[in-house]
Structure 1
Amino acid sequence: MGLDLDFSVVLERWPLFLDGAVMTLELAFLAILVGGAVGTLCAVGRGSRNRLIAGLCAAYVETIRNTPLLVQIFLVYFGLASIGFKFSAFSVAAAALAINVGAYTAEIMRAGFESIPPGQIEAAEGLALSRFQIYWHVILLPAIEKVYPSLTSQFVLLMLASSITSQISAEELTAVANYVQSDTYRAFETYILVALGYIALSLVLRAAFWALGLVLFPRRRRLGTPL
């Protein structure tokens, strides 16, 4: 039995795939922005001397990291609907992804904060820098630089994980593929193209993060290691 491949009927739907790829990037972009901010604040909170704040941040991180992303998406999607809040599948998907990546970002950033030598902070205090200046210039930016490769890898994984949001009808790339294969009965060809699409999106994201690293970290740029 030969393998009869026909990509033509699938490629005719290329505008649908393009729309799905754009939505995938939009979901990833929003989740990275919100989740990155939440994770950074949570990492700061876990180091707080206030036990309540530190405990709440720790509970959030451990809960998210020890439950499946799909379950989290369903909890947000059906939980909000059950109390009368109606949001689009895109909004719910972006929120769930942000909550998920925020927990992983918190742990990565916490490792970055702990890598800052205490003597460096003491030196900054000795120079009479303000608390904001110390956090921004002495702690936050150097911490981000140290963990930047881990952060970018986590964000790329987030983009790939966005495929799960097809389960709540978010019209990203995998949801489009499900529709196309059911319409054309060419499942193998469809998912080959989608796999190639995700590879392309991953390369685009990695290139974007590499360029961002060149801008954010002049020292790494001089060393030729922005990632």
Structure 2
Amino acid sequence: MDYTFQFGPLVNYLPQFISGFWLTMLLAFVGIFGGIALGVGCAVASTLPGFLPRFLVRCYVEAMRNTPLLVQIFVIFFGLPNLGVRMSPLTSVVIALVLNNGGYIAEIVRGGIQSTHRSQVEAAESLGMTYFQTLRFVILPPALEKVFTPVVSQCVLLMLSTSLVSAIGVEDLTGAAMIASSETFRTMEVYLVIAAVYVLMNFVFRAILNLAGLLIFRRSRRNLFRGI
């Protein structure tokens, strides 16, 4: 193999890489926290009495978990205009990321809620707590703490999946790399650099989410003990 690595030409594309990096970070944070909020809400809705809430949540979760994210992006960006709904590429990918992450988080959190022992619920009911008070103070805090590790893993996977948004012209980190690669023909160098950046972002996101979980659940346990 007679290949000489040349990273010099990539210096000219540093502004595009930086811009793409920050856009990737923004998309990841919106997708993660928007998806967590949506997922927790859907998980709670799946525990409500009545057939309709559970049925609607199940349809949504199965649709998100059994179709590729790229297809979901295409449906929103290319499909909805046929129904008269037009959105910018950035808006389309934000909606797709939130919906996709929400579907996975909903199923994870639902498992945590169902793992709560029935005796805890009965104890809350004997104290006169309403259903939503029981959810807020008795069921959700320990359930979220139990499933926090898989939630973090899912959120990191979503961050990596943001690379798919370049398929509809959004210039995230991967989109910037595609432009640099097509103009410099230094494909190996471009994607090695981008891969290293994604690895770094992986560690950064895991550290931020784990630190947030540590602070949230420590405060939650402290408040619980004070209440007792």
Question: One-letter code of the match for 2:26?
Answer: E
Task: Find the counterpart in structure 2 of residue 48 from structure 1.
Answer: 48
Matching residue of 1:64: 64
Determine what percentage of the aligned residue pairs are the same residue: 42
Superposition TM-score, scaled by structure 2 size: 0.92
Counterpart-to-counterpart distance in 2, 1:55 and 1:133: 24
Q: Following the alignment from structure 2 to structure 1, what is the Cα–Cα distance between the partners of residues 139 and 111?
A: 12
Aligned pair count reads 222
Please report the RMSD computed on the Cα atoms of aligned residues, expressed in angstroms. Answer: 1.8
* Structure 2 match to 1:11: 11
The alignment status of 1:111 with 2:111, answered yes or no, reads yes
Ranges in structure 1 where 5+ consecutive residues have no aligned partner: 223-227
Offset of residue 220 of structure 1 = 10
Aligned residues of 2:60 and 2:103 also touching (Cα < 8 A) = yes
* Superposed displacement of residue 68, structure 1: 1.3
- Partner of 2:214, secondary structure, is helix
Aligned to 1:97: 97
Per-residue deviation, 1:219? 8.0
Matched to 1:215, the amino acid is L
- Decide whether the 8 Å contact of 1:214 with 1:220 is kept in 2: no
Q: Aligned residue for 2:191?
A: 191
Per-residue deviation, 1:8: 1.1
Distance 1:47 1:220, change over 3 A: closer
1:31 maps to 2:28: no
TM-score (norm 1): 0.92
Q: Offset at 1:108?
A: 0.2
Q: Name the SS of the counterpart of 1:3 in structure 2.
A: coil
Misfit runs of 4+, over 4 Å? 219-222
Distance 2:88 2:198 in 1: 24
Match of 2:225 in 1: none
* Structure 2 alignment gaps of length 5 or more: 223-228
The corresponding residue for 2:121 is: 121
Q: Which moved more, 1:126-135 or 1:205-214?
A: 126-135
Give the distance between the partners of 1:112 and 1:83, measured in 2 at CA.
Answer: 38
1:41-71 superposed Cα distances (whole Å, 9 cap, x missing partner): 2212222321122111111111221111111
The structural deviation recorded for 1:81 is 2.1
Q: Could you tell me which residue of structure 2 aligns to residue 225 of structure 1?
A: none
Preserved contact between residue 32 and residue 101 of structure 1 (Cα < 8 Å)? yes
Cα deviation, residue 33, structure 1: 2.1
